[in-house]
Amino acid sequence: MSSKITKHLFITGGVVSSLGKGITAASIALLLKRRGYRVRIQKLDPYVNVDPGTMSPFEHGEVYVTDDGAETDLDLGHYERFADLQCSQASNYTTGRIYKTVIERERHGDYLGKTVQVVPHITDEIKRAIRTLDGPDVDIAITEIGGTAGDIESLPFLEAIRQYRQEIGPQNGLFIHLTLVPYLRAAGELKTKPSQQSVGILREIGIIPDILVCRCEEPLEKEHFRKLALFCNVRPELVIEERDVANTIYEVPLELAKQELDTYIIELLNLHVRDLELDDWQDLVQRVIDKNKPAMEIAVVGKYIQLKDAYKSIYEALDHAAIANHVKLKVRQLDSEDLEKPGVDMAKALHGVQGILVPGGFGNRGIEGKIAAIRYARENKIPFLGICLGMQCAVIEFARNVCGLAGANSAEFDDEKDPAKCTPHPVIHLMEEQKKIINLGGTMRLGGWPCDLVPGTKSAVAYGGGSIRERHRHRYEVNNSYREQFVEAGMVISGTSPDGTLVEMTELADHPWFVGCQFHPEFKSRPLVSHPLFRDFVAAGKAMAKDA
């Protein structure tokens, strides 16, 4: 029997950032879902940007896009991938978004002359954001609080969850604190003090964690469990170890399940403990661990290549495709700016790869390097997947080198003040209706859009034909004035918007596997169900490796 009301889990982090709170929250969501509970999940981010949409990947890593068009934190990618959930606008709130709503309301006169304050007005608005997860179809709502206990900017969020749990009662809301138990090599010891102190910070605010999840490199001994329980005021069995996993992040839920974290959560929330179904997940981890697989290598050519998080979902989707194709996949990360330096030997840089992927991006830095890598993929018949800007670059490359349109480019890189610095062939451009929109934020084609596939194309084969829905995040589009010329020269338009006006997918007729998509397929890939385009891209590379 499902609960009548939505129960809440609040996940906080302590000691340091980058503890993997998102992966822990996602793992808990997966386990609860596999116990038959209907779960929803969100992240509250304490920074002041309204959303991460305008932030540089250097600052924030990837911007994850939901089907309903929210530009969000990359932790939502973990939520969707682990628990196979659909996130939404309700899944990510920032300090900026909360304040924006409150300030707009204040300007509208909604506070009837009252002084508007952090407590209660901001905290009320945070509570409203948490409440958006409630519903008759939701048994358990998970709220991850970004940042670390002790940050000044986290305070209103912590105060809001304290109030929230006070209102719903301990049987309907739990606090889970993720902390670090560092190993001091010189002393040869694990240290519990930072965790005691971080729980101390929460206690000062009025939050006493119900469950302590301890990130560590070395196994916790009985003594550590005892100490942590005693000083942090947590039942000893509710001190859970989350040690670094050896092979893949997809091991984390299995490790947490072994310690029955999900059972304790369910019991504490007064729900029934149902059977846990994880066979397919265990099988997935086994397939990753299996050493007996053919090896292959794919190059990812991007301009944020040195940042682990900038192409997070791309790397994850490649991992899923490797699992589906049973290959050991190595990724060669190439900085596109390096590829445009004079005298670069492209054949050397790309030697031995069985696939080239060019991901999305903004601005013209590194563009020529991407175009050169794409030319190499086209001419040498290496499987290619171009995503968003990657597809746009493939169109530019084709226009210049196959159709002979010298100087073809995207209007994104035009200098409007100087006609001499504008391309004579804007093969990628802004559509007329977009030109009217001038503000930066919120002017993009965002979220899920339908696309009709053309029968017989590689795209249609990958998806199994028909009509698909994929997520977008871009301003520019293929210029329809050049479409006919492209098709005559051997480009295949394999997917369009249902009315045919927007080019969503392109291919090359005379190539083993060369596909571009204007959308971001990486957001919809799942560990158990590899995205069809990534799956077939890696399959084409695997076939090439076999023939070599």
Q: Which residues bind ligand GLN (CB under 6 A)?
A: 360-362, 388-389, 412, 473-476
Catalytic residue among 388, 393, 403, 451: 388
Q: How far apart are CA 318 and CA 288, in angstroms?
A: 12
Mark whether 260 is an active-site residue.
no
Query: How many CB atoms neighbour CB 419 within 10 A?
Result: 8
Q: 144 vs 477, which CB is nearer to ligand GLN?
A: 477
Catalytic residue among 60, 177, 511, 520: 520
Q: 71 vs 159, which CB is nearer to ligand GLN?
A: 71
- Residue environment code for 188-224, b if the CB has 16+ CB neighbours within 10 A, otherwise e: eebebeebbebbebbeebebbbbbbbbbbebebeeeb
Catalytic residue among 316, 474, 522, 531: 522
Q: How far is CA 280 from the centre of its chain?
A: 22
E strands present in 82-153: 92-94, 140-145
Q: 385 vs 388, which CB is nearer to ligand GLN?
A: 388
Mark whether 416 is an active-site residue.
no
Residues listed for the chain: 548
Q: 334 vs 444, which CB is nearer to ligand GLN?
A: 444
Q: 388 vs 539, which CB is nearer to ligand GLN?
A: 388
Q: 154 vs 518, which CB is nearer to ligand GLN?
A: 518
3-state secondary structure of 99: helix
What is the number of the residue whose Cβ is closest to ligand GLN? 360
Task: Give yes or no for a cis peptide into 120 (omega within 30° of 0).
Answer: yes
E strands present in 103-257: 140-145, 173-180, 183-184, 189-190, 211-216, 239-243
Kindly report the backbone phi and psi dihedral angles of residue 183, in degrees, each rounded to the nearest multiple of 5, phi listed first.
Answer: -105, 120
CA dihedral 375, 378, 384, 388 (to 10 degrees): 50
Q: How far apart are CA 246 and CA 45, in angstroms?
A: 29
Provide, rounded to whole angstroms, the least separation between the CB of residue 522 and ligand GLN.
11
Provide, rounded to whole angstroms, the least separation between the CB of residue 272 and ligand GLN.
45
Provide, rounded to whole angstroms, the least separation between the CB of residue 273 and ligand GLN.
44
Instruction: Report CA torsion sign: 233, 235, 238, 239.
Output: positive
End-to-end CA distance of the chain: 57
Q: How far apart are CA 531 and CA 533, in angstroms?
A: 6
Provide, rounded to whole angstroms, the least separation between the CB of residue 317 and ligand GLN.
15
Cβ(534)–Cβ(522) below 8 Å:
yes
Q: 181 vs 444, which CB is nearer to ligand GLN?
A: 444
Q: How far apart are CA 310 and CA 57, in angstroms?
A: 6
Q: Which amino acid is present at 235? A: R
Q: What angle (nearest 5°) sits at the alpha carbon of residue 208, between those of residues 204 and 214?
A: 110
Provide, rounded to whole angstroms, the least separation between the CB of residue 410 and ligand GLN.
7
Cβ(383)–Cβ(544) below 8 Å:
yes
Mark whether 517 is an active-site residue.
no
Q: How far apart are CA 225 and CA 138, in angstroms?
A: 33
Q: How far apart are CA 148 and CA 304, in angstroms?
A: 26
Q: 231 vs 362, which CB is nearer to ligand GLN?
A: 362
Cβ(24)–Cβ(177) below 8 Å:
no
Provide, rounded to whole angstroms, the least separation between the CB of residue 86 and ligand GLN.
21
3-state secondary structure of 378: helix
- Active site positions, annotated: 388, 520, 522
